[in-house]
Structure 1
């Protein structure tokens, strides 16, 4: 792909992001629900995902040289991290939206009509990041650096995951002890906070690119979704200090795992075809 083609694609995708953001705003303004703050939270999350798409498209349109794209590649990775983490918060907010006159109900229309632009933005940002990666690889060759310094950085990331994951586990124990639903909050909270701890232990044992590829880091995204979202009772409309604090802990888990998975993907060169050979 040439820089000119990349620029045109970036502008087109930025325009798509603007259209999706307008869709979110119009829907949020015209829709009536039983608890408007929950709808606002879902709309803000969806709008932030669309904003990431606009930013990624505009940046891609400006980076028409491979050297400049290589210097700014990390920005696309950060935008990916933000939009995936926002997707989790969007789901949490959506499941608290109540239809008018149904205090304990749930509105699937909000999930579908706000989820469509959110999922679209998430997928397109990931696609654009992959396009930028291929653009850099085609011009400069594989970007994987299989050296001692790179391995040490991955191990440091693993140590951070373990340390922060343990701190989040301690926070779950302390917060859940103050609520009458102590056992439920404790079990579901610890299941979520153990995901970054286990992933961090995997990172600490990495010794080269090939061992890193065997970690299967993307699996931990699925585990995060399985443990942090459905089992956590996040759909409850209660806004007690305990649920608020535990929600903050869960968001920390999501950010940790998503960031670690993307860092590992960049380190292993998962999108670089020439680095797919086994040892």
Structure 2
């Protein structure tokens, strides 16, 4: 299995031929007298995934498979998007479907087509749905794929992430947030004292968001076999983040430059410590990919 979106499974043998992932950040541009504009990070944009799917009768009825995607889009519901490795990418909605007809019968039935599926990240409240395992998708009944015992898409239980997968997810989230925080600090550091003081709420906000995944990393890694080092890592990085926050509270116009410098140093240390665990985390990811964790 390459990936699963809700109850829709994508496999290489079932026609999935490409995936493009896009991530963005929103920046506000502020004009400055006698100088280039200053960019201010406002927040991250929505992640997007573009899937390329080839439709052919040997892979299942093209029209039925396309109808299943359109039906999922028309329900306007967020769907859990999980890679075959077990990595949970989050909740996504189908925002756009395009279908390029490659070959058709004399009566207009699709023989071969290419579908472009655009998925957008959903950031609202979402509860992952559990389906009944092993049931063939009704839309594939009677197709060559179903008859051969290898349907392109089936409904199944989205497996609960293992302890190893949870550790990887917490670490990945924390690292991404730390990098976003470091980017904001580097943008702000060239401003004057008044400008930096005005950015303190945003700096405190971005460091606050990394606390929960670091706490999760320390807690979950503590119950992982041979995970004590990662548990200590989470606690150590969390300590640096809390130090970065403490340096900015309280602050005033007289001490903001020194306090900001100390806060930035603590955050840089947090990210450096987290990056040092990349090899260790890559080893855990390899265990997940090979179904050993």
Q: What's the TM-score once normalised by structure 1's chain length? A: 0.32
Q: What's the TM-score once normalised by structure 2's chain length? A: 0.31
Larger-Rg structure: 2
Richer in strand (by share): 2
Richer in helix (by share): 1
